[in-house]
Amino acid sequence: MLRQLVMHAPRFFNYTSRRLAHGGCGQILITRAYSSAAMSPPSKAIVYDVHGPPDTVTKLVEVPAVEVKEKEVCVKMLAAPINPSDINRIQGVYPVRPNPPAVGGHEGVGEVLSVGSSVTSLSPGDWVIPSPPSFGTWQTYIVKNENVWHKVQKGVPMEYAATITINPLTALLMLEHCVALNSGDAIVQNGATSMVGQCVIQLAKSRGIHSINIIRDRPGVNEVKEMLKNLGADEVFTESELEVKNVKSLLGGIPEPALGFNCVGGNAASLVLKFLRQGGTMVTYGGMSKKPVTVSTSSFIFKDVSLRGFWLQKWLSTDKAEESRGMIDRLLSLVQEGKLKYKMELAPFDDFSTALDKALGKLGSQPKQVIKF
């Protein structure tokens, strides 16, 4: 990994590069000198040298062998997703991002290929994920310290192991850490078809919590509603269906929600607020519409609503690594029990450019893209 190579400068590292024609994208050949030691295999990686449009600035590079030091683990990557935050990091707009040149990707799953002489917790053949998530997962081999990796069971489908540490964990934390909820309570959310949204529906259902879900108007909306209800959604409304004077009249026997989740902003956020009960809380964790959250004065004065944000990166930065690993194990157990699922599409590493186009929305609405190495 290019970023790792720069970080590994003390290992007698130096390199040169040159750009070659390679299937329409630049390829870099890197030469380096290194000490005699245990080495990883050569790797291939998706790298960006500058911030910018991901479909323009990313390219395939070949990375030579990297030294595996005594406390390090060499992992052969199996799968890694393309997340919105990955795209934002490449664009240079995400608050926490590596400095270019860097390898893309922030989560994934791999198989331990070899371990350093002082590694005790992992063995070749183990499946591992970087936990907390770690930069540079869009490559075939990664060498990092033993404490970066968390062992997971091999029986989990690899696409779920590859995607468990960001979106499902966000859903679980928001449900459990923002407002105290009991069985019979309700939540409301927009962006219900997102991976976080799908996880919220299922995790809420497992606790006996009702979910009211808001989606954008789109072709095939009835199929989308059916999909979400099959996951456990109590109600699913399009934004246009909520253009009524009193949205709470649509709830039937569902109680007014105490908690709302907003990942869209704009009108979709206002609709979440309209559903909230007296003293309810709306948590914003995304802004896909790039429109501001607007709140009426009456909502603050007469409904006493609260607004707050949630950012997984910040939560993980407060010495929560071990706690998060326990929660990840819980989530993977739900996957194995068939109680947590979401739509994904596996894409071969050799066809990364198509998967990226899908993730960028250039080919219409698509499932989460997960690269298979």
Three-state DSSP at 11 gives coil
Return the DSSP state at 250. Answer: G
Return d(Cα 224, Cα 230) in angstroms, integer: 10
Cβ atoms of 135 and 310 closer than 8 Å:
no
Return the DSSP state at 139. Answer: B
Catalogue the long-range contacts made by 156-161 (C-beta closer than 8 Å, 24 or more residues apart).
156/127, 156/332, 156/335, 156/336, 157/335, 158/78, 158/79, 158/109, 158/127, 158/372, 159/79, 159/344, 159/346, 159/370, 159/372, 160/332, 160/335, 161/79, 161/109, 161/127, 161/129, 161/332
Catalogue the long-range contacts made by 309-315 (C-beta closer than 8 Å, 24 or more residues apart).
309/283, 309/284, 309/285, 310/170, 310/173, 310/174, 310/178, 310/283, 310/284, 310/285, 311/285, 312/166, 312/169, 312/170, 312/173, 313/95, 313/96, 315/173, 315/177
CB within 8 A of 37, min separation 6: which ones? 11, 67, 68, 69
Three-state DSSP at 50 gives coil
Return d(Cα 2, Cα 217) in angstroms, integer: 42
Residue 298: its H or E element: helix 297-301
Catalytic residue numbers? 94
For 63, other C-beta atoms within 10 Å of its C-beta total 25
Structure tokens, 339: 């109680």
